[in-house]
Structure 1
Amino acid sequence: MVKILKYTPRYYEPFDGSVHYLCLNASDTCNYRCMKCMQSESIKIRPTIEPINVCDLLTRAKKELGIKTIYLSGSGETFLVGNGNTQIKLENYKKLIRQAYELDIAIVQFTNGYYLTEEMVEYLSDFDVSLVVSIDTLNPEKYSRLTNTGIEVFDKVMDNIKYARKKLPVVNSGEKRLYRLGVNMAISNVCEEDIDSVKSFCGDDIIFFSNYPLIKGSFKENIEYMCAGEDELEKFKQLCSKTSTYQGLAGVTTDGVCGFLKYGLTIDFDGKVLICPYDTNTGLLFGNISDYESMHDAFKIVQDKLTNFAEGKQNAMYCPLRHAEYDSFFDNDISNVLRTFAISTSQC
């Protein structure tokens, strides 16, 4: 049987060309400081900004785009929605889940797993939510080092996963084996030797994904520790293809494109339109979703930009951010925007 995580792009194949995803950065804060994170430490410690009204955004996205699923990932820990203390953010998250359910919108969520407590699992079990927990090693000391957390955090996350795998069962549907719980492992030279043990831990009731590094943010700052160079990075890519259930990244379709980006619209924590949840810098290019008369207009503008980027580039849409020419292409556009802004400001 074909193993599929519910609500990932492969779950919806074949696509009919409609918009399936709202890719949402519902948080800009995180309780971890992972060495692999593509957000730099300077980005993580930024002034409080006014978040977009998520419930209003979901209603609009359902009405204007007809979205089927929210993809929660990106710049922060996905359970920590909006502003306020931790408890307020967790309550905001629950409101988001309820709102999505009432609008018949499913959720696929990537998380570090810290807040996936028994109480939270019980809450989520009745909703259309699939969860992917980041686990790069089963070695507590190594986990602590990679995430910059205490040793006790590893035990907490493992207990959370143990409970979740009981409450989020696998369902066979025709020729598909549908999962609601996954583990995502980011391969680096720190944890390469742990691939087999993490995959074995997943067994037959957790779907296993692996990926290879994005040379950005904290990973770039720690690159001497995480990756020896281009040759080793290429090895990580091959290991991802060899070990991951989809023979690649969780969001990639069978024809080799990122389904989240090709069939989705990405909105940042403050409403800015992005290329991808993991690149908040592109918010400078497209403005705020509140400025668009239609969300379809925003979707078309982003898709046109992606098409322009991918033209003549092999495998550019597999994961645009990981493509060798991504930074030069979009950094040039961002520089032009900043230059224009500087000129207009100086003339005021």
Structure 2
Amino acid sequence: MAMNRRNFLKAGSVAAGAGVLAAPAIVTARETFNWRMTTTWPPGLPFFQTGPGSATDFARRVEEMSDRRIRIRVYAAGELIPAFEGFDAVSSGRQVQLNHGCAYYWSGKSFAAQYFTTVPFGMTFQGYNAWMNEGGGYALWEEVYRPFNLVPLLVGCTGVQPVGWFRRPVESLKDLQGLNIRIPGLAGDVYNAVGANARLLPGSEVFAALERGAIDAAEWVGPYADRELGLHRAAKYYYSSGWHEPSTSTEVIVNRAAWESLPKDLQAIMRNAAAACNITSHAWLEGRNSEALDDLINNHKVIFQPLPDDIIRALFEATRDILNSKAKEDPLVKKVNDSFWQFKVKHDRWQANSETAFQTQIRDLGQQMLA
């Protein structure tokens, strides 16, 4: 018997529906990534290895934000490889996929790398971050690291750092002659230029070297981190101005092949985790430095004062000469150097009429609010 058109459509609809219901469920397995990250820091070191914005905090944020699609096991310096071998290890990609450290540790690979930690007499936290994110800094950083098969992420900032700890007072440029000082990056080259002897030591060795006199002075981070390392027990002269590191930033470097194996959403998660660490690390340390400085001065008899102006001028002139020389030798250094200082000049004009003007006008008024 012939089926009329209405019954035919009804039967077809039911059959189609039954087919959909009967189809097996398709489950897509989530791809997961189990990575290793080495660091240049000793175990338990606040700010760098543990605490807000640290290597372990970055790993935790990535794991939580990715719903465990990326799991990162963190190894402190010496647990898997020595402190300063992370760059090569990540570049090769054979042992580890990431390393947490500072770009100026790799100045031997590329002089331009240290612009992405800090530059003597350069920009503070606000200006530096503006250059990185809005002034082309990030793109230049990726260009510098591309030949090494690395993708860089900015993950932390200490803000302005004190000059460091000295076993004897520094009253003139003559006092720097032959002085052995632990300091990394371009600032070490500057000290060498004025007659000192710069040494690069990992954090785990700084206190012991200063205490036993193997070095005469040491730069580390700032009041809170320096106190945690015990540097006030090895030297009592603590100098300020921050000429050498006005905005010291930390990095996570990622093996490029490993990075490119990630889906776009996981790459975005890693970038956002890094950005969160950058802000929280700076805020965390800013919140602790003032209390730590008061404690060092009042309870540990630390002598805290600025370096004399004539020393600062000599260090500035040496910095300018070194940067100009390196820029003439290497087109990529010149490209980064020009971008950095051109942005600083513009930002300085704004900062002079915003942060600096405000702080100058209201200096010491905060105390009166408590009166």
Which protein has the bigger helix share? 2
* Rg larger in structure: 2
TM-score range relative to shorter protein:
under 0.3
TM-score (norm 1): 0.27
TM-score (norm 2): 0.26
